[in-house]
Amino acid sequence: MMTASEIKLRGVMRFDEPLSRHTTWRVGGPASVFYQPADSADLITFLQQLTSDEPLLWLGLGSNLLVRDGGFPGTVIATQGSLMAMALTGDETLRVEAGVPSAQVARFATRNALSGVEFLAGIPGTLGGALAMNAGAFGTEIWQRVEWVETVDRFGQLHKRQKSEFKIGYREVQGVENEWFLAAHLQLTPGDSTETVAHIRQLLERRAATQPTRQPSCGSVFRNPEGDYAARLIEAAGLKGSQRGGAQVSEKHANFIINTGSATAADIEALIAQVQDEVERCSGIRLQTEVHRVGVTG
């Protein structure tokens, strides 16, 4: 494997980096290579040096992600703290790079008297992750505000992609294979800053009242089946508080699995399977996971 000095990189490279330090569940084995680029130009340089068969994992804040205990046998590219540019590109348009935390996008828009992304204040991830999964809350989704995106492929080539080039669904986005989001151009609407701040505060209060925000989790584990809610089905199956090792179905919100302090990825994965089996036995519905699972078993 290359060293940073050999290819004149400006970012930070680590080997066998524990991914438990970089995921909101606080579990996960090591990445063979962990790279945090200095900026988008440095990222492009890094990608241009990789072999075409190198496994890649892009990592933001590590929410909506379960890294198995054996870790990730490839290269992890950490965008948080790296791809952080954000600027107005017009009266009501905003360019945001993939590493910007979602909550920061909401605050920036509010400061500039723009509305439409208040819901991002409660999304525990980066904009890149929000784009990849069409993150949403309280009836609004990020792709409703996307005009077009900038992507980069594994060879470091940049691309401009229109919204129409993606298949966008509930918590799912399909685009060109082996391309990753570098930035998004968002179309917002004029808004009263005072009203927008009040709306954000209301959304955050609602989130704190209904979700285990002070405990390690990935966010929602399961997708809501059509016409129903995963949390309702899990609670109806009597699974609130159920535990496998250090992993527990939250008593506060049944669609959250929390790390009580000693959970392994295997504990969490076993509890996910238990919930799926029991809900299917009780209701006939097989819950589909929203969380992205990567890596090898320990």
Catalytic residues: 171, 220, 290
Side by side, the strands of the sheet bearing 257-259 are: 243-244, 247-249, 257-259
Residue keyed to tokens 């890294």: 67
Give the separation between CA 144 and CA 168, rounded to whole angstroms: 10
Q: What is residue 223's DSSP assignment?
A: P
Give the separation between CA 159 and CA 65, rounded to whole angstroms: 26
Kindly state the tokens that stand for 261.
Answer: 């302090």
Three-class secondary structure of residue 203 per DSSP:
helix
The DSSP annotation for 91-150 comes to SSEEEEETTSBHHHHHHHHHHTTEES-GGGGG--SBHHHHHHHT-EETTEEGGGSEEEEE
Q: How many CA atoms lie within 13 A of 3 on its CB side?
A: 2
Residue 149: count of CB within 10 angstroms of its CB: 24
Kindly state the tokens that stand for 293.
Answer: 């699972």
Of 257, 224, 226, the closest CA to residue 239 belongs to: 257
Q: How many CA atoms lie within 13 A of 153 on its CB side?
A: 11
Residue keyed to tokens 């968002």: 186
Kindly state the tokens that stand for 64.
Answer: 């909506």
